[in-house]
Amino acid sequence: MNNRAELRRELKAIAKENFKKQWGLSIGLPLIVAAIAIVGTLIAIPFIFAVPILYMIILFGVIIFLVLPLAVGLSLCFTKIFKDETTSINDLFSPLKVNYQRKLGGMAWYFLWIDIWAIVGIFTLFIPTVIKAISYSMTPYILADCPNVKAKDALKLSMRMTQGYKMDLFVADLSFLGWALLGGLTFNILNLVFTMPYMSTTFAGYYVRLKEKAIESGAVKKEEFYPEA
């Protein structure tokens, strides 16, 4: 358990140091994705009563075909930030230009299963929902970092990577609760400029370390992350 706590402290320390080196991008890139989602919502609003079906088509079209792939781009950006590698807006939009269908399919498959377990959670106090969400949480990073992994296989690899580490990821998530509450007192300004990029970089770090550990332990073979095209 001490080793797990040390890992958490190590990843958070690296994340805190490295996201500050690209502080503007660590704040700005998620804001771009949020802005795209907001614009899509605003475009759809005029149709909400007049043509409800068109409202739904526009809203879900923006979310599914733009926001989901861009979430993969964000995962790539924060993985690079954690590794102390230079990232850019090009990394954010790269899923729209390279292997778009694979990344869209992988994220759609990911959220389909999240939704299924959310429905199950209604009848089970959401405990299985939380467990499964953590189990699937590495999927966007795999889609971003491993270009030849098939869409559905990314979810399977995430489940194997997180085996034995789900509680660690849950505790890591809780470790940011104090910052999030403090950020609420600043009208979420602190969350925007510190908590969220700090947290995003930390979980990118978990992806990096859990992938290394999965390969070292034999839970996942290296060639499963990097299959031939």
Residue 221, exposed/middle/buried by CB under 10 A (0-12, 13-18, 19+)? exposed
Residue 162: count of CB within 10 angstroms of its CB: 22
pLDDT at 47: 84
What percent of the chain lies above the pLDDT cut of 90?
Answer: 88
Amino acid identity, residue 84?
D
Helix axes 196-217, 151-161, angle to 10 degrees: 80
Report the pLDDT value the prediction gives residue 102, as an integer from 0 to 100. 95
How much is the mean pLDDT over the chain? 95
CA distances from 130 to 6, 50, 72 (A): 24, 38, 21
Query: What average pLDDT does range 177-190 have in this prediction?
Result: 94
> What tokens does 150 get?
């098939």
Q: CA of 36: how far to CAs of 40, 87, 123, in Å?
A: 6, 20, 34
| Mean predicted confidence (pLDDT) in 175-188 | 95
Structure confidence at residue 127 (pLDDT): 94
Instruction: Give me the pLDDT at residue 229, please.
Output: 67
Cα–Cα distance measured from residue 146 to residue 154, given in angstroms and rounded to the nearest whole number: 9
Q: Which residues contact 25 (CB under 8 A, 6 or more apart)?
A: 77, 81, 87, 88, 89
Q: Are 225 and 149 a contacting pair, CB within 8 Å?
A: yes
Q: What is the mean pLDDT of residues 24-45?
A: 94
Q: What is the pLDDT of residues 97-148, one digit of tens each?
A: 999 999 999 999 999 999 999 999 999 989 999 999 999 999 999 999 999 9
pTM: 0.94
- Enumerate the domain spans of the chain: 2-225
